[in-house]
Amino acid sequence: MRVLNIVAALCAAGGMLAACAAGPNAEPAEAGAAPAAAPPQAAIEAREPMRFILKLKDPHTAVDTPAMLGHLAKVSRSEIVYVRAMSGDAHVLILRTEAGVRADAALQRIKADPLVEYAEPDAVKRALPAR
């Protein structure tokens, strides 16, 4: 971690942050060349994994087995990675979609599965202040 901090500081100090972000195998930019355009936001979101919480209707069905993970992957048409168990027979998983596939659409397909009691994005929920 300390090495990464040093490298980041050297990159920033040398004004070469864009070159560092491009990676070690990137071709050097020509002098005066415009920086590369950022990928469209939709393309970035399509590749970002979504953590979600899943609970099956049958509490005796194991979620962390290759058979169940394969079933969820087939239903969602995405890669599913098991993270951990939670209280109340719920589980945290990661859904990774291919480029062009929306993670929320894949999660909707999981919600529609007859084995699933609920599937929700893993997010912090806060109570609204009382009025």
**Structural domains in the chain (count):** 2
Is 80 within the bounds of a domain?
A: yes
In-domain check, residue 32: no
Q: How confident is the model at residue 37 (pLDDT cuts 50, 70, 90)?
A: very low
What is the pLDDT at residue 28?
Answer: 43
User: How do residues 61-70 score in pLDDT, each as one tens digit?
Assistant: 999 999 999 9
Same domain, 16 and 78: no
Assess whether pLDDT exceeds 60 at residue 34. no
If one compares 13 and 57, the residue with the highest pLDDT of the two is 57
In terms of domains, do 57 and 112 share one? yes
CATH number of the domain where residue 67 is located: 3.30.70
Q: Are 82 and 93 in contact (CB under 8 A)?
A: yes
* Nearest C-alpha neighbor of 78 from the set 109, 57, 56: 109
Kindly indicate the confidence band of residue 47, based on its pLDDT and cuts at 50, 70 and 90: low
pLDDT of 125 > 70? The answer is: yes
User: Would residue 77 be called left, alpha or beta, if left means φ above 0 and alpha means ψ between -120 and 50 degrees?
Assistant: left
What is the domain extent for residue 5?
A: 1-27
Quick one: 21 and 85 in the same domain? no
Coil, strand or helix: which one is 117? strand
Q: Which residue has the higher pLDDT, 43 or 107?
A: 107
Q: Are 82 and 69 in contact (CB under 8 A)?
A: yes
Same domain for 103 and 55? yes
What pLDDT sits at residue 81?
95
Instruction: Please state the rounded mean pLDDT for residues 41-61.
Output: 77
In a domain, 92, yes or no: yes
- Residue 43 is assigned to a structural domain of this protein: no
71 and 110 share one domain: yes
Six-digit token pair at 110? 């999981």
Instruction: Please report the beta strands in the chain, taking only residues with DSSP state E, as ranges in sequence order.
Output: 50-56, 79-85, 90-96, 116-121
CA–CA dist 15, 18 (Å, integer): 8
Mean pLDDT lowest among 19-33, 57-71, 76-90, 104-118: 19-33
Alpha-carbon gap, residue 65 to 82, rounded angstroms:
9
